[in-house]
Structure 1
Amino acid sequence: MDTRLIELGCYFRHQAAWPTAAVFQVTAAGSDRVRVSDARWSVEPNVPLHHYTDTFGNTCTRLELPSGVSVVEYHSLATVPDAIDEAEESAPEIPAATLPDDVLVYTLASRFCQPDELGRHAWRLFADVPTGWSRVQAICTWVHEYLVYTTGSTVPTSTSVDAFSSGVGVCRDFAHLMITMCRALNIPARYAFGYLPDVDVAPNPTPMDFHAWVQVWLGDRWWDFDPRHNNRRKGRVQIGQGRDAADAAMVTTYGAPWLQLMTVTAREVVQEPTPSVPTV
């Protein structure tokens, strides 16, 4: 399969009144489809880094932000298939009685996803839709059409109920609302986030940022669904997953440093074709 090369990275500049413990979750995750290379960190002033894997299988990086101004940067390259996200329209829903043990947790309510609050709406909207991939895609399309993407419309504590009530949100809220509707129907769904470059799509005029989407368990595996865009994309590189955004925060600080600046890089590296060498 042909591949594309994606440059990934992020930059955080904080100012702290005193040394502040922090956990960063920005490392690109490799997979059967994605090969990550040339990963590197830069921290100014220089402080020790400690990498570990959390309960949900995410790579996390611990450090202590020093008092004053500090800069944390992460960069890597990802080789991805020249193909859109995988799909299988015949993938079935699995009854709760036979779901894998480690998948059951993704049918339950969590901090930002409350199927118990929105369950009656989910059944009203989707009870008569054919089960399996068709029903999950119907939920994805409904969320995409129901919410209006509005930068700055929500806050870090906003829930799926807030998004449902207001009708506005950012990609995080689109993901939370879709997760909630799936779980209300006993379909396991989890929150995923990472890097999503504009590959073979019209460039997005807003500044690049991290992106959140949904993974749904159908058949015997997780599948990516993106209610913000409602289409299958090229170049998606995951960072982490969890029950909702609380389990997959890009930065967690144990204090209140001021985030002065954050930038995200996710763009294709245009490679010059190798010139042919004439044979004699």
Structure 2
Amino acid sequence: MLIRCGYDISFQAETQTAMMAMLSLHPSRHQDLRTAQRLTISPDIPLYHYEDGFGNVATRLTVPPGGVTLSCDFVIEDSGEPDRRAPTGAQTPVEDLPDDVMIFLLGSRYCETDRLMDVAWANFAHYGTASERVDAIVDFVHNHIEFGYHHARPDKTAWNGYQERQGVCRDFAHLAITLCRCMNIPARYCTGYLGDIGIPPVDAPMDFSAWFDVYIDGQWYTHDARHNHPRIGRILMARGRDATDVALTTAFGPATLTGFEVHCDEVPSID
């Protein structure tokens, strides 16, 4: 299947402001591109791309006085297969995990494992396998948090989401990630495109989406606590410990978001 993705995001700034953006397709999906993916900017100012410590493509720019608009549009091929489920088997002991996976067991800015450790062990310790625990955690988070865009705020952590029981997709992901880590299951935060493909259309503006991966039996598997069932057409942009590592944009000074449009739709062919 072919999916057309892209965005137009605008910022206003009164003074020159440095910015970092995490808006490019993840390198693992580059081979699936069917048209060029090129981030454009208006006015035409220099952009510098680099690979961060998690393998994501990050972009540096300096917003001039007046502001900028960042845009992108591309077509990508997707298998149309739903998210793969993890196999049932014994959980990998922490001492046997690869070195580069260990960081995804640790607490992070939005995932306070210390505050949710007792909650996790009280609710999920009796499950016998990693996959059963993850499924139980996803069910719990899906039912525990009420979704609503008006519940979003940038400082909300997993602990806040657990207490307030309200949030957006990133809050579902943060709470599920934290509970998985508390149970010694490595989990990482993911962000990208997830259009209304294979489901009834949702009457809401399109946005980027957040989900998470868990490391089970030597591989990473995708889960989504907000939707709580395998989806198709998931297009990865970036992944890291939590939303800190994959923030869409980070401004190092005053910059006001003035426009935000995202599209992600199945298309029959490349026009």
**What band does the TM-score fall into relative to the shorter chain?**
over 0.9
Normalized against structure 2, the TM-score is what? 0.95
Instruction: Report the CA distance shift for 1:17/1:32 in structure 2 as closer, same or farther (over 3 A).
Output: closer
Q: CA deviation at 1:34?
A: 6.6
**CA distance, structure 1, for counterparts of residue 45 and residue 191 of structure 2:** 27
Q: Counterpart in 2 of 1:64?
A: 62
**CA distance, structure 2, for counterparts of residue 90 and residue 187 of structure 1:** 14
Q: Counterpart in 1 of 2:133?
A: 135
1:35 to 29, 32, 35: 32
Q: Counterpart in 2 of 1:175?
A: 173
Q: Counterpart in 2 of 1:13?
A: 10
Q: CA deviation at 1:183?
A: 0.7
**CA distance, structure 2, for counterparts of residue 10 and residue 221 of structure 1:** 31
**CA distance, structure 2, for counterparts of residue 268 and residue 30 of structure 1:** 21
Q: CA deviation at 1:204?
A: 1.3
Q: Counterpart in 2 of 1:23?
A: 20
Alignment of 1:95-174 (within 5 A): 95-174=93-172
**CA distance, structure 1, for counterparts of residue 184 and residue 268 of structure 2:** 43
Give CA-to-partner distance per residue, 1:43-80, whole Å, 9 cap, x none: 11100111100011110111111110321112222100
Structure 1 residues not aligned, in runs of 5+? 273-280
Query: RMSD of the TM alignment (CA)?
Result: 1.5
Query: Is contact 1:34-1:81 (8 Å) kept?
Result: no
Instruction: Report the CA distance shift for 1:92/1:5 in structure 2 as closer, same or farther (over 3 A).
Output: farther
Query: Is contact 1:171-1:213 (8 Å) kept?
Result: yes
- Paired letter, 2:16: P
Which stretch has the larger CA shift, 230-239 or 145-154? 145-154
2:240 to 226, 239, 242: 242
SS of the residue corresponding to residue 259 of structure 1 reads: strand
Q: Counterpart in 2 of 1:213?
A: 211
**CA distance, structure 2, for counterparts of residue 156 and residue 138 of structure 1:** 27
Normalized against structure 1, the TM-score is what? 0.92
Give CA-to-partner distance per residue, 1:79-106, whole Å, 9 cap, x none: 0002111223325421110100010011
Query: Is contact 1:34-1:237 (8 Å) kept?
Result: no
SS of the residue corresponding to residue 76 of structure 1 reads: strand
**CA distance, structure 1, for counterparts of residue 4 and residue 255 of structure 2:** 28
- Paired letter, 1:9: G
Aligned length: 269
**CA distance, structure 1, for counterparts of residue 237 and residue 31 of structure 2:** 11
Q: CA deviation at 1:134?
A: 1.3
Q: Counterpart in 1 of 2:78?
A: 80
**CA distance, structure 1, for counterparts of residue 164 and residue 76 of structure 2:** 37
**CA distance, structure 2, for counterparts of residue 190 and residue 69 of structure 1:** 33
Q: CA deviation at 1:32?
A: 6.9
- Paired letter, 2:79: P
Q: Which has the larger radius of gyration?
A: 1
Query: Is contact 2:14-2:67 (8 Å) kept?
Result: no
- Paired letter, 1:99: L
Structure 2 residues not aligned, in runs of 5+? none
**CA distance, structure 1, for counterparts of residue 154 and residue 259 of structure 2:** 17
Query: Is contact 1:33-1:80 (8 Å) kept?
Result: no
1:184 to 182, 185, 189: 182
Which stretch has the larger CA shift, 13-22 or 68-77? 68-77
SS of the residue corresponding to residue 246 of structure 1 reads: coil
Q: Counterpart in 1 of 2:91?
A: 93
